[in-house]
């Protein structure tokens, strides 16, 4: 086999993420038929392990969508918001805004509660917005990738359910790195994906759906095909996907999820992510002029955001990216539109450090040591 014609970088961006060599190699395992009994050898453990990582209630169902996290998020909109109903989107940044945009693009009556970037949503603000708009569905981001803020989805979910709405959650950049909160929150559909904290390549959106969500979908018309959660359930009961999946990713997913559940351990994985968050925060606090961006107590275990010193620009951060590339690392200079908006408003841009999936504290420390030399001093 010829050597790869492309350079290899260790990724400290917010997705795609680093994939372990063993998982990469599993992509070369034999292909199989997705309706054959060989499929169940891979996908029955996949479904079982996903439920274990989610601490999924026994009456909830797991769906694998072909695509990405946004595929699952669109399915939540298409399957759970009926004509004439309102969906309230609680957004703390770019990906909350994206979900609102998806609802509008699907012709839904969507309203937006915008939270200041860097801050988490409060129960009081969500309750007030629900009282004003009377939504049938409320969409909340668990972990806002653009700002490094984690919401208290348990408290928010309980508040949403107490007012009679369905609660749907975007957990794309945190699932596999922290507890999902599905059982405690009463969440009706939790959407996530393979390519972030699970340490896999992109290719599957993942949806965990409650009995209430399934019942609601029966009363919603024009759910689409791939976005219809009901159309997936019969196949999911057989540990299958609705359509032909990426079978190489299926092999990789089997290996990786078995590793997470049976080798590293779910709680140990969550604890490692917390340790890497604390490690990164300590690094930032030691940098003169740089500040942690997300509010205290709501900082993400999977991505840390850093406000740069006054006078430093987004262009400067792009130059840091190239300096880090020369050292074998892929650095994240921040979410482009957010930084452009910040600079236009005279605010300091931010950069992101992804520490999710199978990144280890030792790998992270190596990256931080090099980054500390590459960042401009102020």
CATH code reported for the domain at 266-374:
3.90.1150.10
Of the CA atoms within 13 Å of residue 56, those in its CB half-sphere come to 26
Strand partners, 354: 303
Q: What is the pLDDT of residues 197-223, one digit of tens each?
A: 999 999 999 999 999 999 999 999 999
What's the pLDDT score for residue 187? 97
Considering only 2-6, 58-62, 253-257, 313-317, which range has the smallest mean pLDDT? Answer: 2-6
Average pLDDT, the chain: 97
Considering the chain, tell me which residue range(s) the CATH 3.90.1150.10 domain(s) occupy: 266-374
As a 3-state breakdown, the chain gives helix, strand, coil percent values, each rounded to 5, of: 45, 15, 40
| Per-residue pLDDT at 1 exceeds 60 | no
The residue behind tokens 């236009």 is 344
> In this structure, what are the phi and psi dihedrals at residue 120, rounded to the nearest 5 degrees?
-90, 160
Supply the DSSP string of 266-332, one letter for each residue.
HHHHHHHHHHHHHHHHHHHHTSTT-EE-SPTT-B-SSEEEEEPPTT--HHHHHHHHHHHHHTTEE-B
| Per-residue pLDDT at 2 exceeds 80 | no
Considering the chain, tell me which residue range(s) the CATH 3.40.640.10 domain(s) occupy: 21-262
What is the pTM (predicted TM-score) of this model? Answer: 0.97
CATH classification number, 21-262, choose in 2.60.40.3080, 3.40.50.720, 3.20.20.410, 3.40.640.10:
3.40.640.10
Mean pLDDT over 104-118 rounds to 98
- Comparing CA positions, the residue from 162, 148, 171 lying closest to residue 54 is 171
């Amino acid at each position: 086999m010829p050597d790869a014609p492309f350079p290899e970088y260790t990724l400290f961006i917010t997705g795609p993420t680093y994939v372990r060599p063993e998982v990469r190699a599993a992509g070369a395992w034999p292909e199989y038929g997705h309706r054959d009994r060989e499929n169940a050898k891979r996908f029955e453990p996949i479904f079982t392990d996903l439920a274990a990582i989610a601490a999924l209630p026994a009456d909830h169902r797991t769906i694998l969508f072909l695509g990405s996290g946004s595929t699952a998020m669109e399915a939540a909109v298409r399957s759970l918001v009926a004509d004439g109903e309102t969906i309230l989107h609680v957004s703390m940044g770019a990906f909350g805004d994206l979900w609102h945009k998806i609802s509008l693009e699907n012709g839904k009556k969507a309203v937006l509660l915008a939270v200041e970037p860097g801050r988490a949503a409060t129960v009081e603000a969500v309750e007030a917005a629900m009282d004003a708009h009377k939504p049938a569905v409320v969409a909340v981001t668990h972990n806002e990738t653009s700002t490094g803020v984690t919401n208290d989805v348990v408290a928010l979910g309980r508040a949403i359910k107490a007012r009679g709405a369905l609660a749907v959650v975007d957990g794309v950049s945190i699932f596999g790195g922290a507890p999902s909160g599905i059982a405690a929150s009463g969440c009706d559909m939790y959407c996530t994906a393979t390519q972030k904290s699970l340490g896999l390549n992109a290719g599957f959106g993942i949806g965990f759906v409650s009995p209430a969500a399934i019942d609601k979908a029966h009363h919603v018309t024009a759910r689409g095909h791939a976005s219809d959660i009901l159309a997936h359930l019969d196949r999911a009961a057989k540990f299958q996907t609705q359509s032909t999946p990426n079978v190489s990713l299926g092999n990789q997913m089997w290996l990786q999820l078995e590793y997470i559940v049976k080798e590293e351990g779910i709680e140990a994985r969550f604890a490692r992510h917390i340790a890497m968050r604390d490690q990164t925060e300590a690094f930032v606090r030691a940098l003169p002029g740089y500040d942690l961006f997300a509010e205290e107590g709501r900082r993400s275990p999977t991505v840390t955001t850093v406000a740069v010193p006054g006078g430093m620009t987004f262009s400067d951060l792009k130059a840091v990216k190239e300096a880090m590339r020369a050292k074998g690392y892929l650095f994240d200079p921040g979410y482009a539109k957010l930084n452009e908006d910040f600079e236009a408003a005279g605010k300091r841009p931010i950069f992101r450090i992804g520490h999710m999936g199978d990144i280890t504290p030792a790998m992270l420390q190596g990256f931080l040591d090099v980054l500390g030399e590459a960042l401009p001093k102020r």
